[in-house]
Amino acid sequence: MSSSLLTLPKAELHIHIEGSLEPEMMFALAQRNGLSLPYDSVEAVRAAYQFENLQSFLDLYYAGAQVLQTEQDFYDLTWAYLQKCAAQSVRHTEIFFDPQTHTDRGIPFPVVLNGITQALRDGRERLGVSSGLILCFLRHLSAEAAMATLEAALPYGDHFLAVGLDSSEMGHPPAKFQAVFDRARAEGLLTVAHAGEEGPPEYIWEALRLLKVSRIDHGVRCVEDPALVDFLVEHQIPLTVCPLSNVKLCVFDQIAHHNLKHLLDLGLCVTVNSDDPAYFGGYMAENMAAITNALPLTSQDLVTLAQNSFKAAFLSDDQRQGFLEEIAQAAAVT
From the CB of 275, what's the least distance to ligand HPA, in Å? 5
Restricted to residues 134-193, the positions that interact with ligand HPA (CB under 6 A) are 166-167
Residue whose C-beta lies closest to Zn ion? 275
Among 273, 275, 287, 327, binds ligand HPA (CB under 6 A): 275
Site string for ligand HPA, 31-60 (x = CB under 6 A): -----------------------x------
Q: How far apart are CA 157 and CA 155, in angstroms?
A: 6
Considering the complex, state which of residue 32 and residue 176 has its C-beta at the smaller distance from Zn ion. Answer: 176
Site string for ligand HPA, 185-224 (x = CB under 6 A): ---------x--x---------------------------
From the CB of 138, what's the least distance to Zn ion, in Å? 12
The alpha carbons of the chain give a radius of gyration, in whole angstroms, of: 19
**What would the DSSP string read from start to end of 120-171?**
HHHIIIII--EEEEEEEEETTS-HHHHHHHHHHHGGGGGG-SEEEEES--TT
Is the C-alpha dihedral spanning 117, 121, 68, 51 positive or negative?
A: positive
Considering the complex, state which of residue 18 and residue 275 has its C-beta at the smaller distance from Zn ion. Answer: 275
Active site residue 197: yes
If we measure between CA atoms, which residue out of 267, 213, 194 comes closest to residue 14? Answer: 194
Q: How far apart are CA 61 and CA 330, in angstroms?
A: 37
Q: H-type helices in 9-108, by residue range?
A: 23-32, 42-47, 54-64, 71-87, 99-103
Contact present, 321 and 313 (Cβ < 8 Å): no
From the CB of 244, what's the least distance to ligand HPA, in Å? 11
Q: How far apart are CA 329 and CA 67, in angstroms?
A: 43
Site string for Zn ion, 269-308 (x = CB under 5 A): ------x---------------------------------
From the CB of 330, what's the least distance to Zn ion, in Å? 28
# chain residues binding ligand HPA, by CB under 6 A: 11
Q: How far apart are CA 202 and CA 20, in angstroms?
A: 30
If we measure between CA atoms, which residue out of 124, 116, 125, 136 comes closest to residue 92? Answer: 124
Amino acid, res. 14? H
Among 16, 84, 102, 172, binds ligand HPA (CB under 6 A): 16
From the CB of 165, what's the least distance to ligand HPA, in Å? 9
Torsion of CA 88, 90, 95, 101, to 10 degrees: 0
Q: How far apart are CA 85 and CA 13, in angstroms?
A: 12
Give which of Zn ion, ligand HPA, none residue 206 binds (C-beta under 5 to 8 Å, depending on kind). none
Considering the complex, state which of residue 76 and residue 275 has its C-beta at the smaller distance from Zn ion. Answer: 275
Taking CB under 6 A as the rule, does residue 94 contact ligand HPA? no
What single DSSP character describes residue 126? I
Considering the complex, state which of residue 22 and residue 275 has its C-beta at the smaller distance from Zn ion. Answer: 275
| Active site positions, annotated | 197
- Positions touching ligand HPA (CB under 6 A) are 16, 19, 54, 61, 166-167, 194, 197, 245, 275-276
Binding residues (CB under 5 A) for Zn ion: these are 275
